[in-house]
């Protein structure tokens, strides 16, 4: 790991590291915030960002370090796709596929499958690197994210609830099978057989029996993507049918931006701290 | 005024407006955060940003809205220079002169004097626009800023303490007369007669008799610009000689970034709230 940058932030240090990611066949940056006063091993959260983001958006705009330092929680913020000149991008360089839009899947289709293995990268390679390199308690690890990253957080926690013990999301893509962003991404990375998409769809995973102890979701009512792309109603229905404990908070007037995320970040961090205790 | 954007942020709304600035002969953006629950008229703070910044850096990275909404303080964040294709820039497009580097002076030298009138813009034109358009109490107005904007805040408050009733700064350029950034900017905008520079130098203003009731300054000890450009020791000496109440806090390990600013933003907002009461 190469130390790209570090800066004091509240009672802790915000680092960016760079490493060679074998699963992605490229170099990757990730952010990690280490509070000064940690119980060892300490609770930690993976933050998964949304479309177009890098590791930088969360660490510079979400304001999470203040409460993380108070609670003694480590925050890990990966990038959202493989990177580099060798990595193929959307043919039209669209923002919703390719670079900045890995969708936290393991691609099976050419030319994407060589690099676009974000599921394995986060769940296996980065997970192992973090556990080997930092004082994280593997039994106190949670995951949260925004939009595409909310989808990533929900699906990772539903598939591996023993690895990610708590999960929350801001304006997640609740059912990529049922929205244009998801259809483009899952079709592109996984091919046209929709049965292959179900392990990357929170609602389908719940329908197929996956579960977590509870979920917190915040969603702004003035989010431009709410009706066409995000569809929290589908998740609400799936959770009701399955008896899964979902707290869905519709936040009046809030949009899809980091202003929204920052406004409710403290609630999410305290919620995770309670559930990881 | 044209509404460029607005977003709910904590218990309030973060706006960006655009208007034709006569003093600068160009269109300008500024950010304004309006808490929901304001006493009318309400206290307000101008935030002056540093080199390379626009109105966006503060509103997206400083995390000030949380405590401003709690305290009922309006926050106004102007851009740092005139903007537009007609506005001349540093011949080498350096970051420390021209666009993004107005230094809060009224330029007297060609070709800068046509647009680079940031002192009059902030103190007169934007001030009037804010007072006419928003419920700001003119007797509860303060100013603060970072680096070049810390210099701007200090010099504006020292020249017009009846307009700006409280002042604080993060890593300010304490004496532009005595550092490379300041010598380049003041020489370029004001010409080579150094006596013309003194009204734009906090230390010189204090030596010449200007005063404010008190000043809070935070400065990171690991700031790369500390020794060559910022020189808080010069301000400390000037304040000691003049009997001016300076609280200078050297913050161990912090750098010049918005991670530093965000970490101590709450302290500054509460300090201003106390002094404007």
Q: What is the pLDDT along chain A (277 residues), one digit of tens a residue?
A: 999 999 999 999 999 999 999 999 999 999 999 999 898 899 999 999 999 999 999 999 999 999 999 999 999 999 999 999 999 999 999 999 999 999 999 999 999 999 999 999 999 999 999 999 999 999 999 999 999 999 999 999 999 999 999 999 999 999 999 999 999 999 999 999 999 999 999 999 999 999 999 999 999 999 999 999 999 999 999 999 999 999 999 999 999 999 999 999 999 999 999 999 8
pLDDT for the residue B40? 85
Mean pLDDT (whole number) for B194-207: 98
Active-site hit among B115, B146, B151, B256: B256
Whole-angstrom distance, CA of residue B104 vs CA of residue B242: 24
Q: Which residues of A touch B13 (CB under 8 A)?
A: 253
Q: Are residues A66 and B262, on separate chains, in Cβ contact within 8 Å?
A: yes
Quote the ipTM score: 0.95
Of the candidates A234, A62, A73, the one whose C-alpha atom is nearest the C-alpha of residue B63 is A62
pLDDT for the residue A36? 97
CA atoms within 13 A on the CB side of A35: 22
Question: Is-catalytic flag, A256?
Answer: yes
Beta partners for B15? Answer: B6, B32
Q: Which residues of B touch A263 (CB under 8 A)?
A: 8-10, 65-66
Instruction: Please state the separation of Cα B276 from the chain's center in Å.
Output: 17
The reported pTM is 0.97
Q: Which residues of B touch A9 (CB under 8 A)?
A: 259-260, 262-263
Question: Above pLDDT 70, what percent of chain B?
Answer: 100
Chain A residues bordering chain B (beta-carbon distance below 8 Å): 7-10, 13-14, 60-61, 63, 65-66, 220, 222, 251, 253-255, 257-260, 262-263
Instruction: Please state the separation of Cα A154 from the chain's center in Å.
Output: 8
Mean pLDDT (whole number) for B104-124: 98
Whole-angstrom distance, CA of residue A251 vs CA of residue A261: 11
User: Which two structure tokens, joined as six digits, stand for A52?
Assistant: 């177009």
Q: What does DSSP assign to residue B199?
A: G
pLDDT for the residue B171? 98
Average pLDDT score over chain B: 98
Please write the tens of the pLDDT for every residue from B129-162.
Answer: 999 999 999 999 999 999 999 999 999 999 999 9
User: Which two structure tokens, joined as six digits, stand for B228?
Assistant: 């060559």
User: Which two structure tokens, joined as six digits, stand for A92?
Assistant: 């039209």
Active-site hit among B49, B69, B81, B147: B147
User: Which two structure tokens, joined as six digits, stand for A167?
Assistant: 């999960």
Angle at B61 between CA B150 and CA A148, to 5 degrees: 170
- DSSP alpha helices (H): ranges in chain B? 56-61, 65-71, 118-120, 127-133, 148-159, 180-190, 202-207, 232-242, 258-276
- Backbone CA torsion sign across B238, B225, A61, B84: positive
N-terminal to C-terminal alpha carbon distance within chain B: 30
Whole-angstrom distance, CA of residue B269 vs CA of residue B45: 9
Q: Are residues B263 and A9, on separate chains, in Cβ contact within 8 Å?
A: yes
> How close, in Å, is residue A111 to chain B by CA atoms?
37
pLDDT for the residue A40? 85
Pairing state between β B136-146 and B74-78: unpaired
CA atoms within 13 A on the CB side of B254: 21
Whole-angstrom distance, CA of residue A221 vs CA of residue A256: 9
Question: Above pLDDT 90, what percent of chain B?
Answer: 99
Q: Is the peptide bond before B2 cis (omega within 30 degrees of 0)?
A: no
Of the candidates B250, B120, B109, B134, the one whose C-alpha atom is nearest the C-alpha of residue B187 is B109
Whole-angstrom distance, CA of residue A116 vs CA of residue A99: 9
Of the candidates A143, A126, A131, the one whose C-alpha atom is nearest the C-alpha of residue A276 is A143
Q: Are residues B253 and A8, on separate chains, in Cβ contact within 8 Å?
A: yes
- Percent helix, percent strand, percent coil in chain B, to nearest 5: 40, 25, 35
Judged against a pLDDT cut of 90, whether residue B90 lies above it is answered with yes
Angle at A223 between CA A218 and CA A225, to 5 degrees: 105
pLDDT for the residue A99? 97
Residue B252: closest C-alpha in chain A: A8
């Amino acid at each position: 790991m190469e130390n790209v940058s570090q800066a004091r932030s509240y009672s802790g240090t915000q680092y960016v590291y760079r490493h060679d990611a074998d699963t992605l066949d490229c170099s990757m940056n990730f952010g990690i915030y280490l509070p000064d006063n940690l119980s060892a091993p300490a609770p930690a959260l993976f933050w998964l960002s949304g479309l177009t983001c890098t590791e930088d958006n969360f660490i510079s705009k979400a304001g999470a370090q203040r409460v993380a330092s108070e609670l003694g929680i480590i925050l890990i913020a990966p990038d959202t796709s493989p990177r580099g000149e060798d990595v193929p991008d959307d043919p039209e360089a669209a923002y919703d596929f390719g670079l900045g839009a890995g969708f936290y899947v393991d691609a099976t289709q050419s030319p994407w499958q060589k690099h676009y293995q974000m599921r394995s990268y986060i769940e296996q390679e980065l997970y192992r690197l973090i556990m080997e390199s930092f004082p994280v308690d593997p039994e106190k690890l949670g995951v949260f994210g925004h939009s595409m990253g909310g989808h990533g957080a929900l699906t990772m926690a539903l598939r591996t609830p023993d690895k990610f013990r708590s999960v929350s999301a801001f304006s997640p893509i609740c059912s990529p099978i049922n929205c244009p962003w998801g259809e483009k991404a899952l079709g592109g990375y996984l091919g046209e057989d929709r049965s292959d998409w179900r392990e990357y769809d929170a609602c389908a995973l719940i329908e197929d029996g996956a579960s977590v102890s509870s979920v917190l979701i915040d969603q702004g009512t003035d989010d431009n993507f709410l009706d066409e792309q995000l569809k929290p109603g589908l998740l609400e229905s799936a959770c009701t049918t399955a008896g899964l404990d979902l707290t869905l908070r519709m936040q009046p007037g809030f949009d899809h931006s980091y202003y929204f995320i920052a406004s409710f970040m403290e609630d999410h961090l305290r919620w995770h701290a309670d559930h990881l205790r």
